Amino acid sequence: MSFITAKNLTRRYDLSDPWIVRQLTFRPKRFLTAVNDVSFSVEKGTTYALVGESGSGKSTIAKMAVGLLAPSAGTITLDNHNLNDPNLSPQNQQAMRRRIQMVFQSPYASLNPRWRVGDILAEPIQSFDLIQGAKNQAKRVDELLEQVGLSPSDAKKYPHEFSGGQRQRISIARALSSQPEVIICDEPTSALDVSVQAQVLNLLKSLQKEFSLTYLFITHDLAVVSSVANRIGVLNKGALVEEASPKELFTNPKQDYTRMLLNAAPKML
Amino acid sequence: MKRFFASDFFYDFMRSPVALVSFLIVLFLILSAVFAGVLAPTNPFDAASLNLMNGFTPPMEPNLFTGDVFWMGTDDQGRDLFSAILYGLRISLFVGAMAVALATVMGVLLGLIAGYMGGWLDNLIMRFADIQMTFPSILVAMLIFGVARGILPPELRDEMAITVLIVSIGLSEWVPFARTVRGSTLVEKEKEYIAAARLIGLNRWQIMIRHILPNVLNPVLVIATITLALAIIAEATLSFLGVGAPRTEPSLGTLIRVGQDFLFSGEWWILLFPASTLLALALSVNLFGDWLRDKLNPRLK
Amino acid sequence: MTQPLLEVKNISVEFKTRGGALKAVDDLSIDVQPGEILGLVGESGAGKSMMGAAILGLIDPPGRLSNGEIWFKGRRIDQNPETLRGCEISMIFQDPLVSLNPLKKIGDQLVETILRHKQMSRAQAIDRARKGLIEVGIDPERLNAYPHTFSGGMRQRVVIALALAPEPSLIIADEPTTALDVSVQAQILELLKKLCRGRGTSIILITHDMGVISETADRVGVLYAGRLAEIGSTNQVLRSSKHPYTQGLVASTPKIDPSSFGQSLYQIPGSMPKLDAIPTGCAFHPRCTQGIKKCSQERPPMMKNTAACWLLEETRQGI
């Protein structure tokens, strides 16, 4: 049963010159198609990886999946609900938001530097009205911190007191705080060192098992993907060019672009 | 509090002669103004206590008629200059501080809105700012002052003079705040923690006030300090031109205007002392503001 | 063995802070042979960029080269590195966006660099610049173009042309491909390799990416907390690492390898210590699974020219 379904997902940006300029220079309107008719489906409890270079549209798809950006055409739905539906009531929108959260790429820009970690983690709990009472909320915050391998005493610290890897853990804890069913991971380890990356990837894996999470994993690194994904989709300039399981993709790539990516990836001896 | 004293900022502060001296001077002047009631030998605002015969007494010399001695001499109406300066400082500082507060609140809010909401609202606010900036702020202040004066009935004019001063100076100084905050807002808006806030369903105002505001306030302190110096000078200028604090409640600017009239007839002290005080105040505030700006600059990589 | 091109002897880079002096690089010695590509690999904070900057005297206060000597072609250079900068030793930085002056045409930047280090007429320099562009795979007609009209990969090629223009003996490349896409990265690395082999130029390749090292470097040095943990040929260091940190690093690098599907990655426990909290003895010992008592007490010197690890000590009892 497909849990996340993208159908003919498209996103266009209008880069035309202003009307006056166009009239004077006889230039047509110009559009940039960042995502072009992309369709895929993700089974519940699995990890689907979207791999592509910069400009492939993978981040745009992630934003559309989570409701930050509206598609120009097509839909992306979670359990058959469309987050981008303009007719959704605010309550339904909130209910949908609770079920799908995101972990971002930059450990430095994804946490508000002026807030304490405890407050950052408590905010979604309060906003979704999941637990009432400051004491109970604080308990949940402690629980979340421990789930990602940090300690309750970290709640009173500020983000800058943590390393990049620890900050990503805090981001993951924040994503978990609304008890979502889906987490969109937008290049969560690209900014991290190799040894830290391994820790964070392993953490994501164990959390997936523990909470039956479904992941949409965005990355440019084919090697990372081979250890986390059940299924891989390769994006090139906004189009989905190939889709397969990791084994199939690496041993028998069908498209030239995929082959090129595999060849270009630096190989360890 | 203890963390502040142990911080790098405080450490550098204690080691910078400019910062220390300017801060101490400002502190000294503020305290003098606050305790003017205690420190001043006379109340210069009480017309009944003035003795015209005391007029034009030079500093530290006994008056030819009454024998009273005044540290800084007296003006043409027998007002003790020392007391007048202390009380005048009060007005200068009060007007300056309140005007800056008004400018800060207005500028920061408008900057936040312009930066975060963008679109036509941003355009409107920024064009408004551009138009206002083409006029010297003194002119803008005079304009607002004049309008207010025109609207108010004559009995209220003197009483409201201070309020009108505050409003007119405050309204002329909001633009630097707005522009800076708008710029920082534009940067912060793109950061992922704002996207995360949107993902949990916060509305625009909640995001602006809770998340963006704390992160764009850094330069505001520096701008406020420098604007304070500008506001003090602006108030002095308006008073000097006769459209500010009245003679009955003179600020430093008013005293300077009086002093200027008598400079060339030999009563130099009526000009010198208020002017030096104003200079010391404005200069110290400015220097401290400059030092603050250099220190708070994000210099760490 | 030929005389090394560059000899770094026991250098330390210190930063003075209120709390004391912090060592970003601590007693590091390494050599570069003529014509070889030496990789310097390490995670962030390991001190590899500092090393590169130290060689050219590019450390800004409050940091300084507090110890040691740097010898280049048999002459000591740490006292006055400016004479060699850009001329005998060139540098390539990570971000091609900021390495090029956006207000100058690339042709002008090339010609300026050539004329600064070589005596020749302007016309000759322009000719050299064109040849330089052809070498790095850019159409020489683009001499008059501005940097912003090039893509990231093309810009990095221009930067390489700039670095090669004065015909240096050594290029220090600090994360030259980190900001580029994978496909472009491969091209740039190939280009660097080809050009340097062809001219006999040595390269110090600084990166955090083991894969890049594996494909490009002849020898590699592994840095940890400002110290050299292991050094050797790429094959040796990556396939049969001697230092536990290197072993952990190699094991935790994700690989495109059909047999590793769905498995958890090996992870080194803990994280790299901050400069103000470097452990006594071996800097890695708190995270090391194979440590012995001596590791927490004394800092290990480089053993057998391979790894700085007490486990390699010959006099150790038992095996």
Split into its structural domains, chain B has a count of: 1
Any idea what the CATH number is for the domain that residue B199 is in? 1.10.3720.10
pLDDT at residue B101 tops 90: yes
Q: Which residues contact C73 (CB under 8 A, 6 or more apart)?
A: C5, C88, C169
Higher pLDDT, C317 or A17: A17
- Is some CB atom of chain A closer than 8 A to the CB atom of B198? yes
Partner residue facing A268 (CB), from C255, C265, C271? C255
Range of the domain at B267: 73-296
CA distance A11 to chain C (A): 22
Residue C258: pLDDT band with limits 50, 70, 90: low
C252–A contact, CB cutoff 8 A: yes
pLDDT at B301: 32
Q: Taking the CA of residue C214 as centre, how many other CA atoms within 13 Å lie in the half-sphere pointing to its CB?
A: 13
**Using the beta-carbon criterion (under 8 Å), do B195 and A94 form an inter-chain contact?**
no
C261 has a pLDDT exceeding 70: no
CA-nearest residue of chain C to A260? C183
Which is more confident, B242 or C112?
A: C112
Give the domain ranges of chain C. Answer: 6-230
Asked whether residue B238 is domain-assigned, the answer is yes
Q: What is the pTM of this model?
A: 0.84
pLDDT in tens, C198-230: 888 999 999 988 888 998 999 999 999 989 999
User: Looking at the domain assignment, is residue B139 inside a domain?
Assistant: yes
Distance from CA of A103 to the nearest CA of B (A): 9
- Residue C1 pLDDT: 55
Is pLDDT above 80 for B102? Answer: yes
What is the model's pLDDT at position B300? Answer: 40
C-alpha dist (Å) from residue A216 to A4, A47, A182, C140: 9, 6, 8, 44
Give the model confidence (pLDDT) of C226-257 as tens digits.
899 999 999 999 888 889 999 998 888 888 77
pLDDT score, position C148: 86
Is B272 an interface residue toward A (CB < 8 Å)? no
Which of A99, A103, A112 has the highest number of chain B CBs within 10 A, making it the mutation to test binding with B?
Answer: A112
Strand ranges (E), chain B = none
- The Cα–Cα gap between C28 and B50 comes to 82
Residue C259, pLDDT > 50, answer yes
Q: What is the distance between the alpha carbons of residues A175 and C57, in angstroms, rounded to a whole number?
A: 45
What ipTM was reported for this prediction?
A: 0.88
- CATH number for C6-230: choose from 3.40.50.300, 3.40.190.10, 3.40.1190.20, 3.40.50.1000: 3.40.50.300
Which other chains touch chain C, taking contact as 3+ CB pairs less than 8 Å apart?
Answer: A
What are the phi and psi torsion angles at C27 (to 5°)?
55, 60
- Could you say which of B195, B198, B200 has the minimum Cβ distance to residue A104? B195
Q: What is the pLDDT of residue A109?
A: 92
What's the pLDDT band for B104 if we cut at 50, 70, 90? very high
Q: Name residues of chain A where pLDDT drops below 50.
A: none
Indicate the average pLDDT of chain B: 85
Q: Looking only at Cα atoms, what is the longest distance across chain C?
A: 71
User: Of A242, A96, A111, A235, which is closest to residue A178 (Cα–Cα)?
Assistant: A96
CA–CA separation, C285 and C282 (whole Å): 5
* Range B162-178 average pLDDT: 89
* CATH class held by domain A2-114+183-264: alpha beta
Residue B262 falls inside a structural domain: yes
Amino acid letter, residue C319:
I
